[in-house]
Structure 1
Amino acid sequence: MVAKISIGSSLYGALCYNGEKVNKENGRILGSNKIIIPVDGRADIGQMAENFRLFMPKMGKTKKPVLHISLNPHPDDRLSDQDFEILAREYLEKLGFGEQPYVIYKHMDIDRHHIHIVTVNVNEEGKRLNQDFLYRRSKKITTELEEKYNLHKAQREKISPDTPITKVGPNGDFSCQREQNGACSNYAERSRERREAHIKRQVANTVKMVGMRYKFQSMGEYNAILGLYNVRCDTADGRVNGREYHGLVYFATDDNGNTIATPLKASRLGKFASRTAIDGRFERAKEKIDVAPTKRKVAEVLNQSDSKDDFVAKLKERNIDVVFRYTDEGRIYGVTFVDHDTMTALNGSRLGKEFSANALYARFSQQPQPTEQAPIIPVAPAPEDAQQSQSTSSAGTAPTPTQSQSVHSDSGDYDFTLPGLDLFQPGQSFNPDEEEFRRRMQRKKKRGHRPKF
């Protein structure tokens, strides 16, 4: 059995969340302590909030007095309402909250039925209850209850480095036989809610794993990775009641980028998905990213590619996904390379001007004639090749800048040729050092002819 504990400040918010489940027939109230429950089983949220306030001081120093706990047995444990209530009361007693006002709810919006508990962590005198090692004590209690009632051991889903990231999608059956037989009046509504909950879990897992594994420095690079798994993230900035807010909203999409479920605010997924967490990853990535390995592979592929489709396919073979962004007219205005070997997303301009959106658009939209001489993009050698080059230079056999050079790769020796990019490759008569020297002399000459007063 897995227990999740949230400590917050909004009592009404916790009661409203659970009360709506009950009033929509997706849950029921199993029991309470010191809180009056309506006879008809409906959740009178306002009245229940007043009941809680009777046992709480009007003034207190505790800023977050509300505990919202969910107890989640293993799916193979089939428990009755009475079983759930016994587990909840015994759990609270062992945790030290047995005498507090609380309400126990059962949620049935997904096949894995579970319970929620709303209580407060201050007594009638305003003194905060003991919360030392709260989560550790909770884990010990759930283990004891599993052994006492012969329940399956349920653990939180752990994400390991080998856990694959899969595309988000509404796959699966979200109905049950009882509903299909007409036992439930809101069959379609409950199936829709199950589908939404299933998609939410997928989005949360995708966002968590992308944040743990990949390095990115902008929202565009972040979205380039998420988009590979049918997730999109948008910023949400505005002002409410005179206060500014800056958040993120996540969308599940299909392969064409169309939204397939209700948008999810970052707060519904977890702190790892928040604006603060993602901005922090932007900053930390700046010190960790090395563009050289990705740049070298992209340059090698670009020199060999005859078309955009060929370029994309060959990068895929090198474990790199390239994400193009287009205007309504079909022009490329953005490009991001996602290197799954280095776990890095890089906008094309970070690799160099020759890999920017404008350069690639010019490259792939205007193919030169076959008779034109093909200039090349210089490719930085791999570290092991650089060492070999240094040893060769020491032997006096280094090639001059005007000599034809080949670069070694895993597929053999070849000359990198890239048609149609004359602006990236200086001609053989061009010498950067001489050109810079000429410009310096011209500047000195102009300064020397200034009139003196």
Structure 2
Amino acid sequence: MVAVIKTSNSVQRILNYNERKVKEEKAECISAVNFPIELDRLNFTLKLNRFIKQASLNENVKRNAVHISLNFDPSENHSKEKLNEIAKVYMDKIGFGKQPFLVYQHFDAGHPHMHIVTNNIQRDGKRIDLHLLGIRKSEPARKEIEETFGLVKADGRKQKEQFSLPPIANRKIEYGKAESKKAINGVLNKVLFEYKYSSLPELNAVLNQYNVHADRGTEDSRVFKNNGLLYKILDENSKPIGVPIKASDFYSKPTLKFLEERFKVNDVKKESYKSHVKNAVRMAFYDGKVKSPEKLAENLESEGIHTMLRKSQEGKLYGITYIDHKTQFVFNGSSLGKEFSAKGVLESCAKNILQLERMNNSISHISGNFPNLEDKEYIKENLADILLRGEKINDYVSKQFKKKKRRRLQKGI
């Protein structure tokens, strides 16, 4: 468990943040401790007034609002009752057990976590000292709670590492080896909240790597007509296996409506993150050795970019999706520009093949019989034939040959 403590001079701002998450169905208020009435009867005003009244007992204290988040390992799936018990024990141990506090369970990240809203003004008007609260009280409390509740220990692990997605090979779901819903949920909790995608195909480009697929069904199906969404496990041949699970059956409710909201938000964010993928693709073609989309995909892996090649049953490439695992952004090829689309990549491969053919033929043939490399019509008309011949061409061209070719071309000019 990882505990993060922040202080503020505005409890209203902290409360607004959590209540907004509730309205967006990304959080739920699961407990109200030391409040005069029951949780289900509390509205925003009553919650806020409780904190304001407590703070008014000592108006000399400016930073009187406390916002705490308790974060758990992605493998942990705690009930509301257990989370409430953990929150209560934690607050007791750091000296806030008698303070009014609200507990919110959040679903907007790749790991289970909850937020606690409280203040540090006691009923007698004295303040609870916040200086070094994390080191003096929170850390010992965290370690003791980990032991008491059998939680995954945070010691020796950086927070970023703790909540990062393990390598794909180690997280691919194998049907029958684990309970399907739990296995799918583990992948969804990471991918849905950490990767930035702006369409269902882009999301599936990531999910499919973990043998998970989000499916709307056929257009004439009941699921599609009702704007439903199913999550399926895929086998080693990328075919659905087992019984699909409705999105609404998962605790985080990753429904189509939920995804469409994320599509809009992510689409705005993606613009400034395109350069890493675009530069990597251009550099891959720069040395002239990439002669096929498969070779491009192999080269991009070293840059942390997974390339999904979408092909027809006849094997014709019709789409490309780039998954940048470094920035966690997903891009459809055409959204980056024409040269990064399926057609643009095929044309670049064809140009590289033509370049190598010219280098491996005699100078007279190069100057007389071969088409201009910039002749797009020639490339378009002969693309299939060029790519089929591509693998037979020798990649290696000596520097000495290149220098001779340049000198002879210059003389010809």
Q: What band does the TM-score fall into relative to the shorter chain?
A: 0.3 to 0.5
**TM-score, normalisation: structure 1:** 0.43
The structure with the larger Rg is 1
- TM-score normalised per structure 2: 0.46
